[in-house]
Structure 1
Amino acid sequence: MRVFILSMIGLLIGIAVGLGINIHLPVQYSAYLSVAILAAFDTIFGGIRAMIERKFDERVFLTGFFSNTLLAALLAFIGSWLGIDLTLAAVVAFGVRIFNNLAAIRHLLLFRKKIPFHNSSNSC
């Protein structure tokens, strides 16, 4: 739980710093940034799901975060080098994973303390 609180504090600090600093990225980097952000969201939602399932491992989270982000950026780079839009493959893959993780998180939160139904009409 401590890791989750620290990561949320870091996220809030990062958002505050990002909103406070005026950085202009060239348009040619937009594809790389968008896939990297999707990769980061995929890892974050996967980490939240793992925390709810009590399977969270910091090493898996960190290595997944960096490897997913690097792979997505590499796909975008190779695609632009070849003249093929490979960012679409990364967007579809990460999009599917994000929605699957969100569905699993919703399911786990809704049915965490599911109480079995007891039919009282059968008792005499």
Structure 2
Amino acid sequence: MLNQEGDEMVPLIGLLIGVLLGIFLKIDIPTSFTAYIPVAILAALDSVFGGARASLEKKFDSDIFISGFFSNIVLAIGLTYLGDTLNVPIYLAAVVVFGSRLFNNFAIIRRIILEKLRSKMKEREE
């Protein structure tokens, strides 16, 4: 459902839980997965920043966020696996696309926050 109360906090809460689990749980990742983890993290961060952007724009939908989160990760891991199988660095496509989207979403989030701060400052002046 669109804009249910508390939905806009889902990306940030998920990120916080993931960071805390990563800090406190000492999980050893096999070296055979080392190519997959960074690409999956980049895909997940793209989804988190996209969710934060949607939340600031009052367009957040938890179903879209969750489905996008997991499908981005599966796509990134799938490209990395295909590249490993063909011995071609296809994972670079995922890195470029998700990295570009991540920076784009971050720039838009920054603009939205700055616009909100400026409008609050104008309200105080009046």
Query: Which TM class, normalised by the smaller chain length?
Result: 0.7 to 0.9
Relative distance call for 1:79 and 1:18 in structure 2 (3 A) is same
Q: Which residue of 1 aligns with 2:63?
A: 59
Q: Which residue of 2 aligns with 1:18?
A: 22
Q: CA deviation at 1:37?
A: 0.3
Relative distance call for 1:103 and 1:64 in structure 2 (3 A) is same
Of 17-26 and 34-43, deviating more is 17-26
The unaligned stretches of length 5 or more in structure 1 are 116-124
3-state SS of 2:35 partner: helix
- Across the two proteins, how many residue pairs are aligned to each other? 115
Structure 2 Cα separation of the partners of residues 3 and 77 of structure 1: 33
Structure 1 Cα separation of the partners of residues 41 and 98 of structure 2: 10
Q: CA deviation at 1:11?
A: 3.5
User: Structure 1, residues 40-82: CA drift from partner, whole Å, max 9, x if none?
Assistant: 0000000000000001111110110011000000000000000
1:3 maps to a residue whose letter is D
1:69 to 64, 68, 73: 73
2:113 to 109, 116, 121: 109
Q: RMSD in angstroms over aligned alpha carbons?
A: 1.8
TM-score (norm 1): 0.83
2:69 maps to a residue whose letter is F
Q: Is 1:49 aligned to 2:53, yes or no? A: yes
Q: Is 1:93 aligned to 2:97, yes or no? A: yes
Relative distance call for 1:45 and 1:11 in structure 2 (3 A) is closer
The unaligned stretches of length 5 or more in structure 2 are none
3-state SS of 2:34 partner: helix
Identity of aligned residues (%): 47
Of 57-66 and 14-23, deviating more is 14-23
